[in-house]
Structure 1
């Protein structure tokens, strides 16, 4: 992407303020961080999620071969759950079953022939379009230092994502009816666990925002010719050394195989036509 094309794309994205996430709008908890990232002249955010807890129904097993993406979201919240109010909690988790008495609880293992219900917590995620590979590398470095170990770069997009996650099967969904194979207490335990992850998730977002401000805004990302540092050179030499050692090992093994064949041929000639090589 040329510099002019990036500038035009950034202007377009910021003018419409449309988020490419499924929700289609920006979550309020992540807005301050996006504002900081977008201050960097070589970066622009394209999609994001501040973190969410959800009740998700997997695709019907009988239709898995017919659809690429199945399943439905029974509920999604980008805010901590109201664990202090049991009635509000259950109605927020299962809006179509606002009263716990309308939810069936069973102690038997769920049937794999029915769609599985999952209790999910998904962490903060951010996609950022970058002007250049150097800008992408700078942002990725900051993200990794902030603890977002699942981050990476694909083409000119940096994906920033953490490891905080819950993905727990809790029941089945049959003909619109929620059937849980776990008790109320266990579901409420998962809710408390998710709220703890929300706290950790928001704290990490705050640290990342501070690091972006310090490393990339106060010291802006500058697209420049790559200069090999001492650390880069050491890493390159290490890779080259390992590659050279691997090639030398392959060459030695090849020579051994060739020598073995020659020895077998020599043995055959010495022993005559009736020789048997073992």
Structure 2
């Protein structure tokens, strides 16, 4: 536990090296909710975005994602309009793609059960590409991801390869995906808040301890009765032990007979 807290403190003390240099407004409540709990530490996040990304002419034929030489002609974490896209495309000199990238969140978890709780909430909220990884050093990472992405080439070597009508259609599709992304984030936050509160209540509740103590006392009574050789009627026995204990007693008797 101490090692996790030290790792969390070091992680949160690092400077934000993302292009934006800070949290996305829509992702901030989820990040703050998790970092406010001792068992979680967020390592990266993005609320989801629509962007026009420009790379070199060779990038469009590559199977690998090229980030080093990538330029963003336009980026927004909200829905967009056709004029914004067309204005950005006027600056194109290479290969340009229109992308929608949904909400993503990476969380360092103290124990596997913590990651499993997050995973369950993420799946129920619509982030069905979420997963858990465990590193060799025991580092447990939970990734919240979705599958409703979009990536469409628009320009090649600065030349627009599609019609404006098609671009308008793509923007409509991308905006619908962004709206769904926003709904999923809100749903994830609400369900996560409830799950964390429920888990905290369960950990602090003494009911399980009392139940275990009660079972122990009843079993001690049965053992004492056997050792003292007290002969009780079936009625008295049932009154003493109750329905569940009577069933256990019958199983004990059966075991003694078979032995």
Same fold, judged at TM 0.5 (above): yes
Q: CA deviation at 1:14?
A: 3.7
Task: Look up the match of 1:47.
Answer: 44
Query: How far apart are 1:116 and its partner, in Å?
Result: 3.6
Give the distance between the partners of 2:90 and 2:192, measured in 1 at CA: 38
Assess, with a 3 A threshold, how the Cα gap between structure 1 residues 19 and 200 changes in structure 2: closer, same or farther. farther
Superposed, 1:1-278 pairs within 5 Å as: 3-15=1-13, 18-19=15-16, 21-61=18-58, 69-72=67-70, 73-83=72-82, 86=83, 88-91=84-87, 93-94=88-89, 96=91, 116-155=95-134, 156-172=140-156, 174=157, 178-220=158-200
Q: Secondary structure at the match of 1:29?
A: coil
CA-CA distance at 1:212 after TM superposition:
0.6
Maintained 8 Å contact 2:55/2:66: no
How many residues are treated as equivalent by the alignment?
194
Q: Which runs of 5+ in 1 are unaligned?
A: 98-102, 104-114, 223-278
Instruction: Give runs of ≥4 in structure 1 deviating > 4 Å.
Output: 18-22, 62-65, 67-71
Q: Which has the higher helix share?
A: 2
Deviation at 1:127, TM superposition (A): 0.4
State the structure with bigger RCO (CA 8 A, min sep 6), 1 or 2: 1
1:96-142: CA deviation from partner (whole Å, max 9, x where unpaired): 36xxxxx9xxxxxxxxxxx6421110000000011111211221121
**Cα drift, residue 187 of structure 1:** 1.1
CA distance in 2, matches of 1:39, 1:29: 17
- TM-score, L = length of structure 1: 0.61
Q: Please report the RMSD computed on the Cα atoms of aligned residues, expressed in angstroms.
A: 2.9
Gaps of 5+ in 2: 135-139, 204-259
**d(CA) in 2 for partners of 1:123, 1:68:** 19
| 186 and 95 in structure 1: CA distance in 2 versus 1, 3 angstrom threshold | same
Residue number in structure 2 paired with 1:275: none
Instruction: Give the Å deviation of 1:216.
Output: 1.6
Conserved in 2, the CA contact under 8 Å of 1:56 and 1:120?
yes
- For residues 133-188 of structure 1, the C-alpha deviation after alignment (integer angstroms, 9 at most, x for no partner) is 1211221121112111111112211110111211111221x2xxx21111112112
C-alpha contact 2:74 2:85 (8 A) present in aligned 1? no
- How far apart are the structure 2 equivalents of 1:194 and 1:64? 24
**Structure 2 CA distance for aligned equivalents of residues 95 and 9 of structure 1:** 46
Point out the more displaced range, 179-188 or 50-59. Answer: 50-59
